[in-house]
């Protein structure tokens, strides 16, 4: 099976798919037209699927022969960003979002298109492998919450797999275009989100002495957080990304709300930081005669790539002639980690940045773009990884996931 030849033969459709998804992006939980289009294109190629309510689409390609099972995954939702029609160098992009205030600035349009074409090809070549392939189009990755519906569906319907695989396009300017990043061990960080409201006593801006200004608490808290001691060898970060307070220059507000996230690879490090965070909130609120309400929630866990799965990936991608690099751990987060709770798995990056074309903006930036010339490689990686695993003498591990216990731990009720 000449994987590259097949991918190149379908490249025109791949780009067409990617641009369709890019022009018509949909936010987390609202991916209705995206789902409709995916189902339409699966049906054109007689690919079997089921729709998971609130979760996404699960494709099944059964060879009819006894063997292992691999799950290939792509995320489909977009971000609340107004896209710039130009890239970092002022070069006009080949297509931009037509949905105001919504854009695929994290490459999910590419992920969806690459997996869609890969599954269409695999469905036409069931004689080339033994076992079964699941294709999973995940809703709501940006919130990290729709995956819970999928995990529940998997448990209730005995959806089991021996290995899982996913690709994220990447803008890493120090990497060569088309490189595949295969990193063993810690790769994407886990994430805790926080939502905090400080309750003070508002009043006239001319009489701060009669008020309890929540901004005073916030300033002290943000300053004190920097003094929490975390071992420099630990991969860890936090950021405050939303602050909402006040309405006019001469009114001291009653409340201040701020939100952000904590990124971690070791749960005990995150737990320590959250504990210290809460102590600081208590101390600073009391200092200014204010109170607070807080909510800390685990959004997702770290992506940890299994050593054997990395070997499978390197073997598959080397056979395709692609350049492979180890790369570095990333502080971004990925709900793919939840799929790895059910089996060993591998998550990789395909480098789609190209400085020669001005394509250097990072994800979640309004100038983000990809070099479409290498997207066929993503199709190849999905197919290559699946065939290498299913046809090779590799034994990875299925894992027992207790979804009830997991949901209780992270506060999910579905």
- Which amino acids are annotated catalytic? 301, 372
Q: Nearest CA to 337 among 384, 412, 399?
A: 399
Backbone torsions φ then ψ of 171, nearest 5 degrees: -110, 90
Q: Nearest CA to 114 among 374, 312, 291?
A: 374
Decide if 103 contacts 82 (C-beta within 8 A). yes
HSE-up of 113 (CA within 13 Å, CB side)? 27
Q: Nearest CA to 111 among 138, 71, 83, 143?
A: 138
Report the alpha-carbon distance of residue 344 to residue 346 in Å, rounded.
Answer: 7
Decide if 12 contacts 115 (C-beta within 8 A). no
Report the alpha-carbon distance of residue 85 to residue 134 in Å, rounded.
Answer: 36
């Amino acid at each position: 099976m000449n994987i590259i030849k097949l991918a190149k033969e379908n490249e025109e459709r791949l780009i067409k798919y990617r641009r369709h998804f890019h022009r018509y992006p949909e936010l987390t939980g609202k991916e209705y037209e995206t789902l409709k289009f995916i189902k339409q294109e699966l049906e054109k190629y007689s690919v079997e699927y089921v729709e998971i309510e609130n979760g996404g689409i699960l494709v099944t390609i059964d060879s009819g022969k006894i063997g292992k099972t691999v799950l290939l995954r792509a995320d489909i939702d977009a971000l609340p960003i107004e896209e710039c029609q130009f890239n970092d160098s002022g070069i006009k992009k080949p297509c931009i979002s037509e949905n105001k205030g919504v854009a695929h600035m994290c490459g999910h349009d590419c992920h969806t298109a690459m997996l869609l074409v890969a599954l269409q090809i695999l469905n036409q070549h069931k004689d080339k492998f033994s076992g079964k392939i699941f294709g999973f189009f995940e809703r709501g990755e940006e919130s990290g919450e729709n995956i819970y519906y999928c995990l529940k569906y998997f448990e209730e319907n005995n959806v089991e797999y021996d290995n899982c695989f996913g690709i994220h396009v990447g803008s890493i300017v120090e990497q060569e275009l088309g490189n595949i990043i295969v990193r063993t061990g810690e790769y994407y960080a886990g994430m805790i989100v926080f939502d905090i409201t400080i309750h003070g006593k508002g009043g006239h801006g001319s009489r701060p002495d009669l008020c309890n200004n929540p901004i005073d608490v916030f300033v002290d808290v943000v300053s004190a957080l920097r003094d929490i001691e975390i071992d420099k060898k630990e991969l860890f970060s936090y950021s405050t990304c939303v602050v909402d307070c006040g309405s006019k220059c001469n009114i001291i507000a009653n409340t201040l709300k701020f939100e952000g996230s904590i990124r971690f690879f070791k749960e005990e490090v995150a737990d320590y930081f959250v504990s210290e965070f809460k102590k600081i909130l208590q101390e600073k609120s009391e200092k200014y005669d204010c109170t607070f309400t807080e909510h800390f929630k685990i959004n997702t866990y770290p992506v940890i790539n299994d050593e054997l799965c990395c070997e499978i990936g390197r073997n598959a991608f080397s056979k395709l002639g692609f350049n492979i690099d180890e790369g570095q751990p990333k502080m971004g987060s990925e709900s793919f980690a939840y799929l790895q709770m059910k089996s060993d798995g591998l998550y990789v990056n395909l480098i789609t940045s190209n400085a020669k074309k001005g394509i250097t903006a990072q994800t979640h930036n309004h100038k983000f773009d990809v070099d479409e010339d290498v997207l066929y490689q993503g199709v190849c990686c999905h197919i290559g990884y699946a065939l290498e695993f299913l046809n090779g003498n590799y034994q990875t591990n299925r894992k027992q996931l207790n979804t009830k216990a997991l949901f209780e731990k992270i506060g999910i009720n579905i």
